[in-house]
Amino acid sequence: MTAVAEADGDAATDVADGADAADATTDGVDAAADAADAADAADGDGEDELGGAIRHQWTITDEQAGGRLDVVLAAQLAVPRTLAQRLIEAELVTLAGRPPKKAGQRVRAGEPVIAVVPRPTPLEVVAEDLPLPILYEDAHLVVVDKPAGMVVHPAAGHSRGTMVNALLFHCRDLSGIGGVARPGIVHRLDKDTSGAMVVSKDDVTHASLAAELARKSAGGVSSIRREYLAIACPAPPQDRGTYRTLYGRHPVHRQRFSSKVSRGKHAVTHWQVVERFAGAALVSLRLETGRTHQIRVHAADHGWPLLADAVYGHRPADPALAQLAAALGRQALHAHVLAFVHPRTGQELEIQSPLPADLARVLAALRAMR
């Protein structure tokens, strides 16, 4: 059975992969170490609850084999890599029964891993009654329709007015594994990208969704499907295509990303033109991987940047298109479809986000210009 919530749109997504600093405090790591020692003294019965910490245990898979322990640990637990490294340094992680010698140690398939993670400190983010459309919700997760202009989680310069502030008002119970400032956040959308975004309410759901997204981002088998709508300016020369490239930081502009790099991760984007206009096009895109800014970068690097993209785009030469871009004021990108298998019920969900009013106005204007 498939549950569908009406919608339409598109945006760039990335896994909450630890680009931000770890939220867990040093005191929390120390407390976890004490809890782990106490569990060992009490015969270590394998329980998940260790006083002030949570014990995670799994076996390295073939897909994880060969990777750095800190990278594998961060992806498995859906925590920042810096926190994974601190857990390893504090000897709260064992690999094949022994504390690893270094965070960068390579792992092998079949090796057992045990990690003791401190519980997050109590939430200090302020709940705010902000408009936040809900596309789907149950006891384990919620899919929100993030408006453009809203930052996902609190950070320097954005302590209020974020999606997390709104979520805490709507539902206090969010998974804590993402940290104090990012409760429930499994993946992100850029501030000026709108559309469907899933948030977990408990740690089990969070870990499962994060693992699915990590597999998807790596190009592995995953139930997650993410489709987007974008307005390109100019229009792509072809009607459809697939971009398979390397992907990484821009060699000069380090705050930007590029698909024109000699080394990097792989990135795959499938796309198809939905409607053509004079000097622009409505394009549907599907992510096979999920790199930061992937859609915006792939489009721009192939000659058709998104309308009003201040980072990867440019001012249109046509005055009418330039006026539309200025009025829009944000990249024309919307997360239209988010589909996945519910990690707790096994139900196939396909959530659709309706095209927001600002993009609908742009499309209406483009149609009138033909």
For residue 219, the cross-strand partners are: none
Strand-pair category, 333-341 with 194-200? parallel
CB 24 within 8 A of CB 349: no
CA–CA separation, 336 vs 270, rounded Å?
Answer: 15
Q: Transcribe 82-113 into DSSP letters.
A: HHHHHHHHTT-EEETTB--S-TTPBP-TT-EE
Q: What residues contact 50, with CB distance under 8 A and at least 6 apart? A: 32, 35, 36, 38, 39, 116
| Alpha helices for the chain (secondary structure H) | 26-41, 69-77, 81-89, 163-170, 203-217, 294-301, 319-328, 357-369
CA–CA separation, 304 vs 133, rounded Å?
Answer: 31
Helix (H) or strand (E) holding 329: none
Catalytic status, residue 190:
yes
CB 258 within 8 A of CB 250: yes
CA–CA separation, 137 vs 348, rounded Å?
Answer: 14
Count of C-beta atoms within a 10 Å radius of residue 346: 7
Omega before residue 234 within 30° of 0, cis = yes
Strand-pair category, 53-59 with 49-50? antiparallel
Count of C-beta atoms within a 10 Å radius of residue 69: 24
Annotated catalytic residue within 190, 192, 202, 203 = 190
What phi-psi label fits residue 106: left (phi over 0), alpha (psi between -120 and 50 degrees) or beta? Answer: beta
Q: Could you list the active site residues?
A: 190
